[in-house]
Each structure stands twice: as structure tokens, then as C-alpha cells.
Structure 1
Amino acid sequence: MNEDSQGTVTAVSSNATYSFTKPNRDSITLLAGLGVEGDVHAGVTVKHRSRVAQDPTQPNLRQVHLIHEELFAEVAGQGHEVVPGALGENITTSGIDLLGLPTGTLLRIGDGAVLEVTGLRNPCVQIDGYQDGLLKQVVFRDEDGALVRKAGIMTVVREGGRVRPGDAIKAELPDGPHRPLERV
């Protein structure tokens, strides 16, 4: 991973109600320690239903979900049409290797928002409810038997701010040694 990795926000999405997809917006506001203002997954403690069922007091390490737009082209080659917000992400990116970032990377977006990368999204069967067969395109075992997750990364908001399509994203890697992303 390049120390000066940069990319661009291609879309932003949020939803105040539980729904697999999230409608695109002109902008979203990130709130420090909480997530996306008005989004169902914002909060200090977990909001994802499966996590709440396990332990509702867990810290919310999944405040803001990012997916790389390059994934959409990849799955299109397998017959799947995916657009920004369709997989429930809040920020769709291009030009930055989200999956290659280490845990603890800071993502500076736009004029002042800062996200800290906490881990990989653990995709669930709802993805097949959106499009049959899509789940096995975003989570699978490679030729060595290792589990590969491609459904984006999860972050927490360190510094709030407004995020819009077209905003620059700059990754600042943590001091080493770097820890690879694990599911959160």
C-alpha cells in the first residue's frame, strides 16, 4: 500500500430506516463517534441487527461503510448490475485500494472529515436477496482456501464533516507494523 494513496468519492448514500439498499444523496454529514447523520446505523453502540442480537452494548465499529466502485465492474463481468448504494454502503469510492488498507488507516475526505478503518464488511445472505448469486462474488475461498471478503470496509468517524461526490480521499497509514483487515 502506497503511503500516499488517494481516491475520490463517487457517491454518498444513507437511509433512516432498515433497508438493504441506501438511496444516493447530494451529501452526507459525518458525526464524530456516531456515523452518518440520520442513518439507521449511526450510534456509539452496534446497530446492525445481528450484532445487536449478540450484544447490544458492543461498540459500533461499523459506523460508516465504504465500497470501491471498481467492484461493480468486476461483478458486472459475472452478470450482476450493481450501482452505488445498492449494497448498503454510505460512501462509494474510486481509485483507492480500500481492501488493501491496514487496520487503523485514517481516511481524510473532503474539507475535514476523518474516518478510521476498523475492518472488513462481513457480507451476509441479504446480498443474494438483492441479486441471486452475488454473495459468492463478494465472499469466497481463494485457491489456497483462504476466505476473501470484497464487500467493502467499515470505519468509525474520528472527525465529522460533510462528504460529497467528487471529494478527494487521502489515506494516512498507521505506524507499522501494519495489521491486515479482518471482519468486523
Structure 2
Amino acid sequence: MTRSTEAGTVVAVCRNQQPGLPKPVVDEIMLQANWGVEGDYHAGKLVRHRYLARKYPNRPNKRQVLLVDVQSYTDIAEVDIQLGPGAMGENITVQGLAVMQLPLGTHVSVGEALLEITEVRTPCKQLNGMHEQLLQAVTTKEQGKKCFKAGMMARILRGGRVRAGDQICIQPDTALTQPQLFP
């Protein structure tokens, strides 16, 4: 399921009251169950992603937290894109846990909180505001289908405080399906 362990470490936490990138790194974030990150634009009962909110205004928010593995930043550095935590709009940057390999439905504890992985993040052209080739760098093709490697979305099952240095762990027996790496 993961590269080497079923646990990792939080490298950074980020939030932004405004839409857009980057999300600034902060000392800690407070996660609210079934709501999102306190003080973050994407928190709310209904989906807050601007495109999805226009298309499906009554859709429940299952995109409350974005997790990105530092491996994503390492991978894009190989194509000369030098960015760091928050640049892809994530709330939690982790190391040591292969975020993109987490099956949908997996529960992970992070700091005081408990999350459920809900979907692969489908990135948009807004990433190119950070670097003109970023969207291309996190989009690949596998078996003729687009595959995105820009983080996993989660909903908050149990709220709590999360800080850099906190552990993130897969909760046993919660993986329901394999990740779907394309829309």
C-alpha cells in the first residue's frame, strides 16, 4: 500500500482564507469534523471548490483537507520546478507516507484528527500560477488515461489540532478501494 511504512510525519501545515495559491505555511491548523480547516477558504458544509460549487452547489464537502506527499515536490524538482509546502494548495504536507497510493476510504490519523481519503485531487491550470509547467509535471498518462499526482482529498471524521512534526498513520482495515488516478 505504501512505499515503505504505514506511518509518516507532517512536514508542514497550511491554510489560506482566500482562494488561490500558495497556501501559507502556519504553525498549526485546527481541523473541524465534517467542516474543514479553520480559517481556510475550502472549509464548509458544502463543496467550496469554485468550479464544483458552481456546477454542483448542493454537493456535500468531501474535499475538506488536501494532503500532499513531499515526494511530489521531489518529483517536480527533477524537471527543474523548485517549490515547497503550500505551493500546490495543500493543507498538510507529509513525508514517509505514500499519499498517492492510499486507497479511497482509508482512514488516517494525523495529530489529534482522523481523516478519510475521499478522492484523488484533480489539479487545474491554477497550478501554473506557481510555475508555468506545474500542471504538466503532476499529470501523467498511464494506460492511455490521465493520472494526477497532486495530492489526495480527505474529509474530517474527528477534528483536532495538527502541527509540523505530528505523526500521520494509516488506520488498519479501513482501505475500501484502490485509488482512482484519473477523473
Same fold? TM cut 0.5: yes
Q: CA RMSD in A?
A: 1.7
Measure the CA separation in 2 of the matches of 1:85 and 1:132. Answer: 17
The Cα shift of 1:35 comes to: 0.7
Secondary structure (helix, strand or coil) at the match of 2:164 reads coil
Secondary structure (helix, strand or coil) at the match of 2:156 reads strand
Residue 153 of structure 2 corresponds to which residue in structure 1?
Answer: 154
Measure the CA separation in 2 of the matches of 1:179 and 1:30. Answer: 25
The code of the aligned residue for 2:9 comes to T
Measure the CA separation in 1 of the matches of 2:25 and 2:102. Answer: 25
The Cα shift of 1:181 comes to: 2.2
Residue 132 of structure 1 corresponds to which residue in structure 2?
Answer: 132
Measure the CA separation in 1 of the matches of 2:116 and 2:173. Answer: 10
Secondary structure (helix, strand or coil) at the match of 1:20 reads coil
Residue 63 of structure 1 corresponds to which residue in structure 2?
Answer: 64
The verdict on how the C-alpha distance between 1:43 and 1:174 changes in structure 2, with shifts beyond 3 A counting, is farther
CA contact (8 A) 1:104 1:174 kept: no
Runs of 4+ in 1 over 6 A off after TM superposition: none
The Cα shift of 1:74 comes to: 1.1
The code of the aligned residue for 2:114 comes to V
Among the aligned pairs, what percent are the same residue?
Answer: 39
After TM superposition, the score normalised by the length of structure 1 is 0.93
Paired residues in the alignment total 181
Residue 9 of structure 1 corresponds to which residue in structure 2?
Answer: 10
Residue 167 of structure 2 corresponds to which residue in structure 1?
Answer: 168
Q: After superposition, give the CA deviation of every residue in 1:35-75 in whole Å (9 maximum; x if it has no partner).
A: 10111100111001000110110011110001001111111
CA contact (8 A) 2:73 2:82 kept: yes
Residue 179 of structure 1 corresponds to which residue in structure 2?
Answer: 177
Measure the CA separation in 2 of the matches of 1:99 and 1:174. Answer: 18
The verdict on how the C-alpha distance between 1:49 and 1:81 changes in structure 2, with shifts beyond 3 A counting, is same
Q: After superposition, give the CA deviation of every residue in 1:13-40 in whole Å (9 maximum; x if it has no partner).
A: 0011112210000000000010101111
Measure the CA separation in 2 of the matches of 1:8 and 1:164. Answer: 10
Measure the CA separation in 1 of the matches of 2:34 and 2:136. Answer: 33
The verdict on how the C-alpha distance between 1:19 and 1:180 changes in structure 2, with shifts beyond 3 A counting, is same
- Please list every run of 5 or more consecutive structure 1 residues that lacks an aligned counterpart in the other structure: none
After TM superposition, the score normalised by the length of structure 2 is 0.93
The Cα shift of 1:146 comes to: 2.8
Q: After superposition, give the CA deviation of every residue in 1:95-128 in whole Å (9 maximum; x if it has no partner).
A: 0011111111111112x21011001000001111
Residue 145 of structure 1 corresponds to which residue in structure 2?
Answer: 144
Residue 100 of structure 2 corresponds to which residue in structure 1?
Answer: 99
The code of the aligned residue for 1:31 comes to Q
CA contact (8 A) 2:106 2:117 kept: yes
